[in-house]
Amino acid sequence: MPHRPTRKRKKSEKIHKALGRFSRRPRAAGRSGQWKIQRRHIWSALGVLTVLFVAYVIYLDFVVREQFASKRWAIPAHVYARPLELFVGLPFSPDRFAKELLSLNYRYAYPAKDPASYQREADNFELTTREFRFWDAQEPSRAIRVEFTGGVVTALKDRTSGKDIDLMRLDPAFIGGIYPAHHEDRILLKYADVPLLLPQTLIAIEDRKFLTHHGVDPRGIARAVWQNLKAGATEQGGSTITQQLVKNFYLTNERSLWRKFNEVIMALLLEAHYEKHEIMEAYLNEIYLGQDGQRAIHGFGLASRFYFEKPLNELSTAQIATMVAMIRGPGYYNPEKHTKRLLLRRNLILDTLAEFQIISKAEADRAKREELGVIHERRSGTTDYPAFMDLVQRQLREYYHDEDLSSEGLRIFTTMDPVLQSDLQGIVQKRVELLDKQRRLNGKLQVAAVITSINPSVEVLAMVGDRNPRFAGFNRVIDAARPIGSLMKPAVYLTALSQPTKYNWLSPLDDSTLTLKSPDGQVWSPHNYDNQSHGSVAMISALTHSYNLATVRLGMELGFPAILDTLHRLGVKREIQPYPSTLLGSTEMTPIEVLQMYQNYASGGFQSPLRAIREVLNSQGEPLRRYPIEVQKTFDPEAITVLNTGLVQVVENGTAKSVRAQLPKDLMVAGKTGTTNDTRDSWFAGFSATHVGVVWLGTDDNQPTGLSGSTGALRIWGDIMAKVPTTSLAFESNDKLEMHWVNPTAKQLTQAGCPNAMPLGFLKGSAPAAMVNCEGAPTQGNSHWFGNLFK
């Protein structure tokens, strides 16, 4: 029987139908509209986000391509030493020539038929040179024979034709690479020049899917997260080599999801634009591998030099593994502080290389037995000659246009003599260490030394700015301004000698006790180095023995305006205070400023800027235009010659006479010692006919050293000048200049050959007429001399 609905149920159905008309249908329609509105908003938002994302990716793509291209192709300027010019008559010893060939990496071979090979028989050499493109000509490879006799080139022949050669140049030594526009310090590597073991090791340790992934390795990230969770510490990194490169190239070390997001996107973009070997090359040059004070060590090229003092292609398997080990944390695996930790990781890497059959197990075992081999006395920089290269950098900015220096592939030809530079570095290290030990200065004694040629121009041949010549830190030659002591005195005596009607070398000076009072009531009482006064002395005696009392009296008599004018004419640009103490060298100067002052004396009254750069070529081999260099006449040559004859006597009979034992017997040189209060500074500045040298010794904290100019700086100067192929000073009389033998004690002329006779120059008509014999009695005769003590 069919079920019949009850009255109650019918009523309920009616209510529901009514509610349906008024509520259900309108409610359904409302929900649908709202959902449509929400969907439109969602799609709009997604559209905006997509546009923003695409725009941001396009921006990142621009950043990736722009910066990657500019960084990875930066080519350093190649810097070369001066080329050795060979000609018959060149004063050059055969041993020095052999050193020159070694500095050029010529190899001994018999017969010497290949480029860059040589053989030696006694004092004769046969060699085949390299071809080289100079700034003015192409020098071809040539088979030549060079013969030496008595320290002079006596024959120069072409071995092929048998003809004499008038002049030829050897290829110059490569001394470093610099970035003149960016002031960077980096050794760039080309992938083709990198030993294959290095990228193989990096892939095995840092990113095993490097060759197959597209910049990001999701499985590698997941595996690293799982291993780190199990270990409770960060043992593995999930970043690919590409991601590590992105982080170093473009991003900061901030740890955030936003940085990680950028890293992933940029890694994908980098992989989309560049080949794997290009990415690996950039990684090799950019990865951070340590810290040297304020300088970050980036790239395996610089790191191999920094840690092992070797180019990358000379590293052993163990040394390559050591550097790869430091990638995870150069501080955590610091070889100085955490040697055992680094050793364990290196050995783990070697085992991994053997496991992947990159090396054999036997090779891994041998490598694990090696010590780390990290050097402790490291140089700081990419060159063995940081002081000289610093000067090159400064002169590039001073003499060349910035826009020219921004181009890449420059070739910079400098004035550096590689053999002399090597000699100077060795002498400095040996002498400073010895003097430091003798004076118990506990490693604090510092040094600055610079040698220049003055024929025909003033060219810097060698420089050392630190007791460790390879340290690329504070360059004391250029930046250490110290009181110069008695190096100031020649300027005082030049001022007097330029007034021949009033002064000459035999003019009497008062060297008695002196006390001066300043306007504010301060009292100054100078004293001589020997704490004695010497009464009336000849001007030449005051100079040769460096008498302070006589010099101050002479300076006060001449007047400060005249002396300041002399100093300015000599090229001193510092502000000089008109104080009596200035006459004794209280003025501070750097060694290179002292050298610029003394080059006026050495060059006969002419001044030109010190030059460390001969020529700069662009990548097309064209010379860059430089600012002009002017040579200025500063003093009459005759007045300078008169002064120089007195400075010769400082070496022959005065405060610098101890250097004679270090120099060749027939070499006549001139110079002046300098010592400051409490022996805080030791100076010597001196010159031959063709070279000038300045040496300073002291401590950076200005403590007494116990070294005078003659017991400290003079010894280094003598050591190096004994090795320089130089020319003796010689003086000639002319219609403005006379040369006479004098007796400084009697303050009169005398005869040649007397025990106390001294040869000196006088401006015409300024020499005294009176003459004494060897016993000091009045006489008549010839007092003239002819300019060279050794002829």
pLDDT digits (tens, 9 = 90+) for 506-542: 999 999 999 998 888 889 999 999 999 999 999 999 9
Report the pLDDT value the prediction gives residue 217, as an integer from 0 to 100: 81
Q: How far is CA 660 from the centre of its chain?
A: 32
Q: What is the mean pLDDT of residues 455-459?
A: 82
Q: Of residues 100, 206, 459, 593, which has the active-site annotation? A: 206
Burial class (CB in 10 A: 0-12, 13-18, 19+), 250: middle
Name the one residue in this structure whose structure tokens are 């009850």. 6
List the chain domain ranges.
77-173, 184-369, 487-580, 737-779
Residue 450: what are its φ and ψ, rounded to 5°?
Answer: -145, 135
Instruction: Pick the closest to residue 145 from 128, 131, 130, 170 (CA basis).
Output: 128
Q: What is the mean pLDDT of residues 759-763?
A: 96
Q: How far is CA 325 from the centre of its chain?
A: 31
Name the one residue in this structure whose structure tokens are 């016993």. 775
Q: What DSSP element (H or E) covers 492?
A: helix 489-497
Name the one residue in this structure whose structure tokens are 């085992």. 351
Q: Decide if pLDDT at 25 tops 50.
A: no
User: Token digits for 619?
Assistant: 């990548």
Of the chain, the end-to-end C-alpha distance in Å amounts to: 156
Q: Decide if pLDDT at 301 tops 80.
A: yes
Residue 362 CB contacts under 8 Å (≥ 6 apart), including other chains: none
Q: What is the mean pLDDT of residues 310-314?
A: 85
Q: Which pLDDT band, with edges at 50, 70 and 90, does 30 fall under?
A: low
Q: Given its phi and psi angles, is residue 625 left (phi above 0), alpha (psi -120 to 50 degrees) or beta?
A: beta
Report the pLDDT value the prediction gives residue 256, as an integer from 0 to 100: 67
Q: Decide if pLDDT at 302 tops 90.
A: no
Range name among 300-309, 365-374, 782-791 with the lowest pLDDT average: 782-791
Residue 685 CB contacts under 8 Å (≥ 6 apart), including other chains: 487, 594, 595, 598, 671, 672, 674, 692, 693, 694, 695
Q: Are 342 and 307 in contact (CB under 8 A)?
A: no
Q: Which pLDDT band, with edges at 50, 70 and 90, does 227 fall under?
A: low
377 a catalytic residue: no
- Give SS3 for 784: strand
Distance CA(158)–CA(143), nearest Å, equals: 6
| Torsion of Cα atoms, 647 then 651 then 655 then 657, to 10° | -170
Distance CA(657)–CA(655), nearest Å, equals: 6
Report the pLDDT value the prediction gives residue 11, as an integer from 0 to 100: 46
In CATH, 184-369 is 3.50.50.60: no
Q: What is the mean pLDDT of residues 486-502?
A: 97
Residue 460: what are its φ and ψ, rounded to 5°?
Answer: -80, 120
Report the pLDDT value the prediction gives residue 520, as an integer from 0 to 100: 81
Beta strand pairing call for 411-414 and 613-617: antiparallel
Q: What DSSP element (H or E) covers 615?
A: strand 613-617
Q: Are 690 and 455 in contact (CB under 8 A)?
A: yes
Instruction: Calculate what percentage of the chain has a pLDDT beyond 70.
Output: 87
Q: What DSSP element (H or E) covers 687?
A: strand 681-687
In CATH, 77-173 is 3.30.2060.10: yes
CATH of segment(s) 487-580: 3.40.710.10
Q: Decide if pLDDT at 2 tops 70.
A: no
Q: Which residue has the higher pLDDT, 211 or 565?
A: 565
Report the pLDDT value the prediction gives residue 620, as an integer from 0 to 100: 80
| Torsion of Cα atoms, 31 then 36 then 39 then 44, to 10° | -140
Q: Are 540 and 506 in contact (CB under 8 A)?
A: yes
Distance CA(288)–CA(307), nearest Å, equals: 13
Burial class (CB in 10 A: 0-12, 13-18, 19+), 6: exposed
Q: How far is CA 613 from the centre of its chain?
A: 14
Instruction: Pick the closest to residue 217 from 234, 235, 202, 239 (CA basis).
Output: 239
Distance CA(660)–CA(666), nearest Å, equals: 10
Q: What's the Cα-to-Cα distance from 65 to each of 49, 263, 323, rounded to whole Å?
A: 24, 14, 29
Range name among 116-130, 297-311, 596-610 with the lowest pLDDT average: 297-311
Instruction: Pick the closest to residue 416 from 396, 391, 434 (CA basis).
Output: 391
Q: Of residues 103, 304, 486, 708, which has the active-site annotation? A: 486
Q: What's the Cα-to-Cα distance from 54 to each of 46, 49, 58, 62, rounded to whole Å?
A: 12, 8, 6, 12
Q: Which pLDDT band, with edges at 50, 70 and 90, does 26 fall under?
A: very low
Range name among 135-139, 324-328, 736-740 with the lowest pLDDT average: 135-139
Q: Using alpha carbons only, what angle is made at residue 264 by residues 259 and 265, rounded to the nearest 5 degrees?
A: 100
Residue 256 CB contacts under 8 Å (≥ 6 apart), including other chains: none
630 a catalytic residue: no
Q: Are 159 and 143 in contact (CB under 8 A)?
A: yes
Residue 312 CB contacts under 8 Å (≥ 6 apart), including other chains: 189, 194, 195, 198, 300, 301, 304
Instruction: Calculate what percentage of the chain has a pLDDT beyond 90.
Output: 61
Distance CA(2)–CA(373), nearest Å, equals: 104
Report the pLDDT value the prediction gives residue 31, as an integer from 0 to 100: 60
Q: Decide if pLDDT at 756 tops 60.
A: yes
Q: Decide if pLDDT at 387 tops 80.
A: yes
User: Token digits for 473?
Assistant: 């830190």
Q: Which pLDDT band, with edges at 50, 70 and 90, does 305 fall under?
A: confident
Distance CA(209)–CA(40), nearest Å, equals: 43
- Give SS3 for 142: coil
Q: Are 693 and 634 in contact (CB under 8 A)?
A: no
Q: Decide if pLDDT at 12 tops 50.
A: no
Distance CA(506)–CA(443), nearest Å, equals: 45
Q: Which pLDDT band, with edges at 50, 70 and 90, does 225 fall under?
A: low
